[in-house]
Structure 1
Amino acid sequence: MPVLTDAASGVQVSASLEQQELFPIREVARLTGVNPVTLRAWERRHGLIVPTRTESGHRLYSMTDIERVRSILGWIERGVAVSKIGTILARSAPLQPLAHLIPNDLVQADYAQWQQQVQAAVSAFDEIQLERIYGQIFSTYSQAVVFQDILMPVWKQLLHRQDRFGGSSEWLFFDGFLRDRVLQRLLLNRGTDPRRVIVGALAGQCRELELLVASLFLGVGQAGVRVLNIGQLLDELPLVCERIRPEALVLFSNHLPAADLPRRLNRLAMSLECRLLLAGDASDLAEEELAGSSIGCLGHDGDVMCQRLKQFLAGNLDT
């Protein structure tokens, strides 16, 4: 089998890296654009990455590690200091309800196997096979785990690989597949009165699928969730809420909050007769600035968002 040699370490690694799911530092640098010096600094100074070590001490990175590197890059691009990213990542770590029964490395390995199957079906543009895998994953895991820990990481990975030939087509295929399935689930969950909670995106702050998945999480156990189209004007939300009369308006954002966001949200809240809540990554980042205001922060983890929404609507959780 052909091998590659890491110029810095002399470690020989199989050319079929993606199948082995272990990557030397030079390959991680190529895939992410982050140089090895920076990767080592993130590990040593900030503890942001913990790669596997060989017996000789060389670093090997899993696909989970690579997605974490991309997540770190995303936060840096949004203006978050590296020293603060560790706290954000720790706070946003997915819940593992069976962690006391199944070692985390086995759970992650199972996630990775499903992700490999999904990626293979997407690469072949095989919707029938993708539908079969999608159903099998749902028969194994909860809705939050399926989207948050298995499918959306693949979606994000494909999103970041659109610069390679065929990458854009693969992402569009998978994005369309997931949007259709999430919309189906949202319709099934709407119930007879899909007006209790309406969910919208702050302009330019997320992609449609991210908004739909967040709405799916928020709709668990609720009388109904209605999703506003991407591009909804913030200034016209009071009119929308006046007509629909929801109990809560949830605004979703995955971007670093603008400096004037708390002021804008507080002004919006004063013009609403329903509760105003913020969800997504921006919720975690703006929580301190919004403390003491009438605006509730739901976070971005699927189970946590749903739980906090229920508590806010029941009046059991204050801002």
Structure 2
Amino acid sequence: MAAPSTASIPSKNKAWVYSEYGKAVDVLKLDSNVTVPEVKEDQVLIKVVAAALNPVDSLRMFGYIKATDSPLPTAPGYDIVGVVVKVGSHVKKFKEGDEVYGDINEKGIDHPKTIGSLAEYTAVEEKVLALKPKNLSFVEAASLPLAIATAYVCLKQTGFSAGKSILVLGGAGGVGTLVIQLAKHVFGASKVAATSSTGKLELLKSLGADLAIDYTKENFEDLPEKFDLVYDAVGLCDKAVKAVKEGGHAVTIVGPVTPPATRFVLSTVDGSILEKLEPYLESGKVKPVIDPKGPFPFSKTVEAFSYLDTKRAVGKVVVYPIP
């Protein structure tokens, strides 16, 4: 994909913006007159091609991180893929024309960017980006950064390693689909179990789950088998702790925490996580999972958020193309 020349970068661009907190359907508006951000010395300007939506985007829009949020109005969006059209004076890794991807907010909920990924152009620090793997489409690459970092860093921090067993609650979701694959193919799990509804069990198996549990028919916490790690991606921590074997660990990324489980929050991200996982992405051992209802065109971003908020998406909800 050819990058626009520096001379053709506009001063204003289109972005989805909200000026008050609420549901996307009530507060998110398309603004054609948003100033294209200046590029700082450690940043690149990206012509955005695709963006993925994350639950944190909705939580932020609802006003749940007001205390540490950036001032409104803001254009949401963490996950990005696009083409570098301008580089800051200190940037070493990238040049104009490079296809890059990443989670643009290094410290997740601490003053995320005012102009996020749901804009035609945004300025992003070099250190949070990586080159897009050549075998991935723009849509596939957009779906990965925040979810794969949440999956990988949490597995690492909980001490998950080869030969251990894991149960993933919410195996068909954006993070769950990647936890299954990373646990199996990167960390060398001895056994991967995962939960989903009936229609998604085959997906779990295709991603590497040895045991796919239909939560509409079975209570995973009552199964005789227990696990070294239970990774709760759906907010069932009170049940998760009952499925842990002695000496094991339960961790949740959503909802209340039931001791002795712990909460995992991805505190910082950078491009090195994506670079480390690149061989698994390029070999196809770890595959992005895109919800079949998508991608949603840029004009349908509000509908994409409404769908994300149903919590029924399979894998990731992606907005593409961004004009």
Would you call these one fold, judging by a TM-score over 0.5? no
For normalisation by structure 2, the TM-score amounts to 0.36
Higher relative contact order (CA 8 A, sep 6+): 2
> Whose strand proportion is higher, 1 or 2?
2
For normalisation by structure 1, the TM-score amounts to 0.37
Larger Rg: 1
